[in-house]
Each structure stands twice: as C-alpha cells, then as structure tokens.
Chain A
C-alpha cells in the first residue's frame, strides 16, 4: 500500500470523524446535562439530511440554496428537539433510566416511519455543495474538496463549542451541571430551561451533521441506526458527557474505520465495537470521562415494590387451555402460539436480568441468536439428533453469556447496557462474517425438527414444555433465595456487599441463567422457522424483548409472557392493516412510558 493512499485514507477517515464529532458532541452534551441517552439523536440527523435534500431543491436562492437549506434543516430539527423535550422528556426525568431510553427509542421508530412516508424507501442522492464540488490532488491522489472542507469545519465547530463552554456564563452552567446536577439547583438556575436549551442545542448539532452529510452520501432509511450506533461508540469511548472526549474519540474511531475498511474489509463492522469493548473493560468511564459518573448510578431497576404473584388457579386454567385448545385451531394459529411461547420465554429470561437484577441489557438477542445457531450447528455440523441439539443449544448460549457476562457485570446501568450491546454486535459480526461455518448473510436453512415432531400440534407441545417449563423455572428462581438476593443487589449493591453477598458473582450467575433460557427461546424459534439468520443477534430483537417486558410490567416475571403475547398479537394485527408497524409500536411505547409506566399488570393491580 502506497504512502499517498494511506494519507488519503487518513484524510477521508478524518472527514468522517468530523461528522461523527458533530453528532456525538450533541449526544454527549445532552447526556452530560440531562442524563438522557437520546437514541433519537440519529433520527434527528437523518431527518435533517432529508429536509436539506428537499429544501435545497425548493429554495430559490441559486447556489446559496444548499447552504441555506442545511442551516434551515438544522434549525427545524432543533425546533423538533424543543417540542420533544418540553412535550415528552420532561415527564420522565425522574423516572428510571430505562423508561427514558424507551421513550427516545419510540421516537426513533416514529421518525423512521415518518421519513418513509414522506420520502419513500428509495435511496436519494443529494446535491453537491456549490463551490466545493470536485476533487483536489493530494500527493498524487484525488481527494474530494468537500471532505477537505469538513476537516477544516470540524475543529472550527469544536473551537466554537470551547468558546461557548469556557467563555460564557451559559457554558459555565453547562459544565457545572455536567459535573454535579445538584450544584445547578444551588446556583439558583432555572433547571428546566437549562435542560431544554441543551437539548435544543444538541439536536441542532445532530441536524447540522445530517445536513453536512448530504453531499457525501446517498440518503437512506437506515441512516439513523447506522450513525447512532457509531455515535454511541464515540461517546462511550470518549467518556459519557465529555464533549472533548467525543472529539478525541471521533477522530480515533473515524480513522480506525477508514483503515479498518482497507485492512480487514469484512471485519470492519466489528472493529469499532471491539475498540469500545476494550475501552469499557479497561477504563469503564471512557477516555476523558470521570469515574464518579459510575457511582451515582446505583440501580436502573423499577422503583416500585414487587407485585403479588398471579393467582395459582389462573395459571392452571391457562395451562389447561393451552393443552386442550391447540388441536382445535387452524395450523397458522398454532404456529403463532409457538412464536408467542418462544418470545414469552425470551422476555421472561430478560426479566431476570432487568427486573430482578436491575441490569438493563441491550444485547440480550445475543443469547437468543447463540441458542439459535447452537441448535442449527449442533445438528448440521456436529450431526446431533434434534432433541440433543435442542438440549445443547441453551448450554451454548449460557457459555456465551458466561464470557460476555464476565466483562459486563462489573459495570453499572448505562455502561452495562452499552457493553452488552457491543458484545451482541461483535457476536453478530462474527456470525455474519464467518461464512464457512454460519453461511453469513444467507443464514442456515433447513433446521427442522424430525418428522415425528414436525406437525403443528406436536411441535406446539414440545414448545409448551420447553418454554412453559422455562418460564416456570425462571419464576421459581426469582422467588428463591437467589432471586431475593438478586433484587437486594439491585436495590443497593453496597448494602448487599455488606451482608456478605458477592454482588458480582450473583450478577454473573443471573446473566448466565438469563443466557441459558434466552438460548432455549432462540432454539425453539429456530426450529419453528426452520432457519436462523445473523439478524437474530441484533439490537432490534434485544429492544423487542425490552418492550415486551415493559409492556407486561417490569414488577413481576408474569408480566413478561403477557407482554410478549400482547406484543405479538399487536404485531400480527397491525401489520395486517398497515405497513407502518414501527410507528404504531413507537406510539404505543410513548403512551406506555408517559401514561402507564408500570405496564399492563401494574394497571390491573392499581385497579384492584
């Protein structure tokens, strides 16, 4: 590889880093002051890009249209940020972190469908930036002029932010709030207004990043998720809440990205997550973050006490119905029931982690997927008969969970969530790129149960035994001394240590158990569908499980199956009538978080 090529690659990495910095600095700013992890930040970015595209075509300003459109788009997105903060986020600042995450995630879904409605699903190619088109020769290679302009613009923005933080009263407030939230109240500042303005500023920066991206990249419907993952990595690596950490790590990640594509084209996906995992393991508070941020976050679990168990007779009635009714149903309904069973167990296994353990995992799909691939590979590669593979799959998942958990359980709240996400992404990338073993993108097909188990009703009974049994065991575990102690560690880790509980070991055991049952759910699902794909390990599935748990009510493990059933039912119904399931789900989530944070079971209980 020639030196000039390396130079150009470095520069193009830096150009990308500047866009990353813009979006990540907004994210870090918002987190630093409001402690909200804004998933919708990537959506704001995407929205601004599309708005720039449309406005640039319509504004009658000639060459200036593009620039005016970009600025206007960023301002509009800032305005949207204002509405979101005042209308929604304000209601959940006091709520557990998890609800805030879900609320911003709901916005992601709604905005994504909104963009699809307005701009369609085709990729759009934006205009060039007038005056900055073409390329300049650098060391014998051609390098886009626009990227060069970005490399200049990034530090300029950083400088402007620096001046804002260190040369204005507003900046002092922001820094004070980032260090110590109570202090701001003491300083006699209107906290609500500070939060709002910071959220608007952060959203504006995301909008600016989106607008600047238009000449560089085709506009797609998945811009939001691609960028938000990268932005998170940047913020976590730089240190949550540290804007200058974001600058440093954006440069690092941008360059690693650029060279990763050259050196390991197929493993590039995984590279930045490996970087993040390493940083979180060695320095959990990030490059320029402060360790204190870790201590403040004791628990991310529910604040309300556990509810009473579901009455026994109801459970027996439900079980009787599940045994008697399926043979009378048309097969498509039986298949649907199996799917509900698998997801019920999946959600219940997550409940052990997030409900009882207060460990909100964003990567629980790793357990599901590892169980699924375990089931498929044990049959296809190891030649195991299906029942043996079915039994072995959860063990594969539990083993994976033991490795992931070893690193994750030492972290608290948001760092735990991010590291589990990173590991799930790494697992995904491995499965996706280890073509010979896993079939890569194509997945593994033909993973069927043997003929004597393949009829809908027989397979349903198998799934009922596996998943129903799994849920029963999980519910027992949550009420056992182990579960009680786990809840104690969630409520107050230091107190738990001071009564002889090895908190880390307890959390690890919970993590492995959750992995085991999550893997069992995955295996069930894979035998239902006859195939397994890398997507089974990714964030959307992890989030689905989170939603199910919250939908049912996080207070009790019984909520998880209920949430899974309602979710699947809604999914099936809504997709029959509209293609915009995401937006509907997002709407449900918003209502749920804002109006019924205790889930269905919570509402039922309050009524009594």
Chain B
C-alpha cells in the first residue's frame, strides 16, 4: 500500500467536511474519488497534501507518517497535486512554471548567485512536450486558455516524478475531446512509471472509462468502494449520488 488513511476528520464550524474517512491505495492504481458537491473531496485532498490540518486521524505514505507535515515536506516525499481552481504562476512564463518546480525538486530554489535561465531546461521542456504545451512555452501563464492551464498544472505536478498524484477535477471546464486526451495521458504515465493516481471528477464518462476502482464520498463519509461495476450496482450510491447528480 502506498497510501493509508485512518479515520480522518475535519470540521468547519458545524460542517463535518471529512467525517471519519479511512482508505488504502495500492501502488500503481488509478482510483476515482467521487461524490456530490460538498462531499468533502477537496477537503480530503487538502489534508492529504498538508494544506489543511486534520482534526484527528492519520495519513501514512508507505512506512512514513505524513500527517502533520507542511505541504512542501509532503511534496518532497513524492505526493503531488493539482488544484480544482487552477493554480499556476501567472506572471511566469509557461516554461518557468515548470522550471521552478524542477528547480525545487533539484533543491536549487535557494541558489542565489547564478542565473536560472538554462537550468533544468531539458527536463522542463520534456514535461511541456508531454502535455503538449511546447508551442506556448514562452507565454506568461496568466494568458493561457483554460484547457491549457489545466495541462500546465499537470506538467507542474509531474515535475518531481511523484509516487502519488492527486488530481482535483483535472478536466473540469475542458472540451470533451481535450478531456479524453488528457485522461489518456494520465493513464499512460501511470502505466509507464507505476504512478498511483487519485482523482476527483464530476464527468461520469471519464470516471467509468479511466478508474480501476472508485471511492464514493458523501457528507464526509465513505459510502462505497469498489470496481466501477460494483459501484454502479450499489444501491446507496444510486440513491445519494447518481440519483442526484447524474
């Protein structure tokens, strides 16, 4: 198991956003985390990556406990993520967006007396080529179209060659054709490198076609877990989730 989560809880005032979630992810699996709006998916991601502190519960990555560590330390251990609301560095060029992540991975972020210009160039360009942004490399990220921003986020998230990748709605707002292209990319890299992926998604077509297993969250609790076929057949899921959202 690469990721083990035990009885995680987080409340905002009276709202139990994450309410006793436990889960295990084997290495190399692609798993979807689904649930209606407000189910607690993003909150769970934020806890896993250290951006929110849980009220209680533990997160283990392999043999190491990572709950309580700051986000940058968790990233160093190989957990990378994208954000539901795309998060890139708007005034940096597309190339620099990836380069800055590569420099961080190479532990050069604090280098003072040397121009960044060509450092980590090849790896950064390879990442951009992988997501298909080579043509846009020189543009400021803030001027990219929405779909391209999503791709850029993926490239940034892959910069440390992560062991576990958390994608919060990676294809939201993209055109249908772009969606399947992007998900194909994610599947291919997962197969190639044994990368474990946990992703949230509202587009059920994407979920059914990509996920090996699915975890269903509702009001902060896991209500079902299994293969797509099992989840599709699950009565509770049909009631609370498929019935409402489609």
Give A residues with C-beta under 8 Å from B: 301-306, 473, 476-477, 479-485, 487-488, 490-492, 494-503, 506, 509, 513
> What is the 8 Å Cβ interface bit string for chain B, positions 73-104, against chain A (1 contact, 0 not)?
00110001101000111111100110111011
B123 nearest CB across to chain A (Å): 14
Across-interface contacts of A490 in B (CB, < 8 A): 91
B89 touches A488 (CB 8 A): yes
> What is the 8 Å Cβ interface bit string for chain B, positions 116-128, against chain A (1 contact, 0 not)?
1101000000000
B104 nearest CB across to chain A (Å): 4
A480 touches B116 (CB 8 A): yes
Q: How far is the CA of A478 from the CA of B3 in the complex (A)?
A: 38
B115 touches A480 (CB 8 A): yes
Contact A302 to B91, CB < 8 A, known contacts A482-B109, A495-B83: yes
B112 touches A480 (CB 8 A): yes
Q: How far is the CA of A344 from the CA of B156 in the complex (A)?
A: 36
Decide if the interface of chain B is mainly helix, strand, loop or mixed.
loop
Contact A499 to B116, CB < 8 A, known contacts A481-B110, A482-B109, A492-B87: no
> What are 22 of the A-B contact pairs (CB < 8 Å)?
A302-B91, A304-B91, A305-B91, A305-B93, A476-B112, A477-B113, A480-B111, A480-B113, A480-B116, A481-B100, A482-B111, A488-B97, A488-B100, A494-B71, A496-B89, A497-B51, A498-B51, A498-B80, A498-B81, A501-B104, A502-B70, A509-B110
Across-interface contacts of B87 in A (CB, < 8 A): 492, 494-495, 498
B92 touches A494 (CB 8 A): no
B142 nearest CB across to chain A (Å): 7
B75 touches A476 (CB 8 A): no
Q: How far is the CA of A185 from the CA of B242 in the complex (A)?
A: 33
Give B residues with C-beta under 8 Å from A: 49, 51, 70-72, 75-76, 80-81, 83, 87-93, 96-97, 99-101, 103-105, 108-117, 119, 140, 142, 156, 159-160
A481 touches B75 (CB 8 A): no
4 closest Cβ contacts across the A-B interface? A491-B89, A495-B87, A305-B140, A497-B71
Name A481's contact: one of B71, B72, B119 (CB within 8 Å): B119
Across-interface contacts of B159 in A (CB, < 8 A): 499
Q: How far is the CA of A490 from the CA of B72 in the complex (A)?
A: 16
Across-interface contacts of B142 in A (CB, < 8 A): 303, 305
Which chain A residue shows the least CB distance to B156?
A499
Q: How far is the CA of A473 from the CA of B90 in the complex (A)?
A: 25
Most buried by B among A306, A473, A483, A501: A501
Across-interface contacts of B117 in A (CB, < 8 A): 479
B70 touches A499 (CB 8 A): no
Across-interface contacts of A487 in B (CB, < 8 A): 89, 91-92
B49 touches A498 (CB 8 A): yes
Most buried by B among A306, A479, A490, A496: A496
A492 touches B88 (CB 8 A): yes
Which chain A residue shows the least CB distance to B106?
A481
Most buried by B among A479, A500, A502: A500
Across-interface contacts of B75 in A (CB, < 8 A): 497-500
A488 touches B92 (CB 8 A): yes
Q: How far is the CA of A494 from the CA of B71 in the complex (A)?
A: 9
B26 nearest CB across to chain A (Å): 24
Q: How far is the CA of A497 from the CA of B114 in the complex (A)?
A: 23
Given contacts A476-B113, A506-B110, 7 further A-B contacts (CB under 8 A): A479-B115, A479-B117, A480-B111, A495-B87, A497-B51, A497-B72, A506-B109
Contact A500 to B76, CB < 8 A, known contacts A476-B115, A477-B112, A495-B87: yes
A138 nearest CB across to chain B (Å): 47
Name B91's contact: one of A306, A477, A481 (CB within 8 Å): A306
Across-interface contacts of A473 in B (CB, < 8 A): 113
Q: How far is the CA of A480 from the CA of B111 in the complex (A)?
A: 7
Which chain A residue shows the least CB distance to B97?
A488
A502 touches B72 (CB 8 A): yes
B70 touches A497 (CB 8 A): yes
Q: How far is the CA of A494 from the CA of B85 in the complex (A)?
A: 12
Which chain A residue shows the least CB distance to B93?
A305
Across-interface contacts of B112 in A (CB, < 8 A): 476-477, 480, 482, 513
Q: How far is the CA of A470 from the CA of B17 in the complex (A)?
A: 51
Name B116's contact: one of A301, A483, A492 (CB within 8 Å): A483
Q: How far is the CA of A495 from the CA of B91 in the complex (A)?
A: 14
A402 nearest CB across to chain B (Å): 15
Which chain A residue shows the least CB distance to B81?
A498
A500 touches B160 (CB 8 A): yes
Which chain B residue shows the least CB distance to A482?
B112
Contact A485 to B109, CB < 8 A, known contacts A498-B71, A500-B72: yes
A481 touches B116 (CB 8 A): yes
Q: How far is the CA of A481 from the CA of B116 in the complex (A)?
A: 5
Q: How far is the CA of A487 from the CA of B142 in the complex (A)?
A: 14
Across-interface contacts of B70 in A (CB, < 8 A): 497, 502
B88 touches A481 (CB 8 A): no
Across-interface contacts of A481 in B (CB, < 8 A): 100, 103, 108-111, 114, 116, 119
